[in-house]
Amino acid sequence: MNEFKIESKKAIEQKGNYNRWSERFETVTFKGPYKSVEELGNVYIYLMDGDDAICYWKGKASDFEE
């Protein structure tokens, strides 16, 4: 399993169970041992509370191609 991280800052707005980030990241090029983006497979995006995962989104790595 590979690990590639981009971490956000703290939420800019917090009210009860609602949080808002409104953060954008610079474009990052990932290079790995894969011959194609299809071979890479899935990407997982986790919402974390410290070291605890709250929820996640799973999608195809090919969705992140230009």
CB 61 within 8 A of CB 40: yes
The neighbouring-strand residues paired with 18 are: 15
pLDDT tens digits for 7-64? 888 888 888 888 888 888 888 887 778 888 888 888 888 888 888 888 899 999 888 7
24: its two tokens: 């954008």
Which pTM was predicted?
0.58
CB 47 within 8 A of CB 54: yes
